[in-house]
Amino acid sequence: MSVFIPLPSDEPLRAIWPTPNHNLIVASEKFFARTRVNPDYGKPGWTRDCGRRFHRGCDIAPINVTPTGKTTRVIFTDCATQTDFESDEPTFIPHDEVFAVCPGKVIELVTGETLSDFGKHVVLEHRWPRSGEKFYTLYGHLSEVAINGQRLGKMGQTSRSADARNWMQIAPHLHFEVHNTSGAAYNPDDFLRHFCFAGGHSCRRTQDELVRFQRGDGT
């Protein structure tokens, strides 16, 4: 069974938000991407396919978004009756910029839209400030990758899965993950709640460090 591993609660890390959406604490219903049928769509954990599929990331909804005026057809499931039904849903285009929660080293950068389930994405390597142990963050489904300081690019709807691209038309988002060196996932909701509001070590670095981060040799 998939589970999240505990966060190192004694680390004095101070993270920044990965997008302009900072509503996690005050209005979480505006923070996570959602569909008309599944309000938990973007939350981490057993939130997909009527609780049968584990979601190890969180899907952060955009603040800046444009309705296309068009619809796309998706297949929802009524979890109470386990009945599938089709629905034509409105589509949107996101415009939010995406940022690294902490400076680190780029260890994976995919700029091809259909090369991965995460589409265009970036994986960064960081270190916990107290223990020095490594951890990693992933930023998926970008429309563009353009690293400049802690800016990584823009939120998009890219994936090699046509079904995923279709769902992202009605629920655009940044897919955000945090995991350790073994690939085990931390709960990204808990990570943002804990480290964007607590801790004494600032993730904001000097300009020289941000230049090193952009080159991919900073930690």
Q: Is residue 184 part of a domain?
A: yes
Q: Is residue 77 part of a domain?
A: no
User: pLDDT tens, 122-148?
Assistant: 999 999 999 999 999 999 999 999 999
Predicted pLDDT at 204: 41
Q: Is residue 41 part of a domain?
A: yes
Percent of the chain at pLDDT exceeding 90:
82
User: pLDDT tens, 75-91?
Assistant: 999 999 999 999 999 99
Q: Is residue 2 part of a domain?
A: no
Q: Is residue 8 part of a domain?
A: no
Question: pTM to 2 decimals?
Answer: 0.89
Judge whether 50 and 22 are in contact, CB under 8 Å. Answer: no
Tell whether the model's pLDDT for residue 44 goes beyond 80.
Answer: yes
Q: Is residue 186 part of a domain?
A: yes
pLDDT grade, residue 28 (50/70/90)? Answer: very high
How many domains, the chain?
A: 1
CATH of the domain at 43: 2.70.70.10
User: pLDDT tens, 144-192?
Assistant: 999 999 999 999 999 999 999 999 999 999 999 999 999 999 999 999 9
Predicted pLDDT at 197: 60
Q: Which domain holds residue 41?
A: 13-65+94-215
Predicted pLDDT at 2: 72
CA distance 110 to 120: 5
Percent of the chain at pLDDT exceeding 70:
89
Predicted pLDDT at 200: 37
Least confident of 12-16, 104-108, 196-200: 196-200
CA distance 172 to 156: 7
Q: Is residue 7 part of a domain?
A: no
Judge whether 52 and 145 are in contact, CB under 8 Å. Answer: no
Q: Is residue 73 part of a domain?
A: no
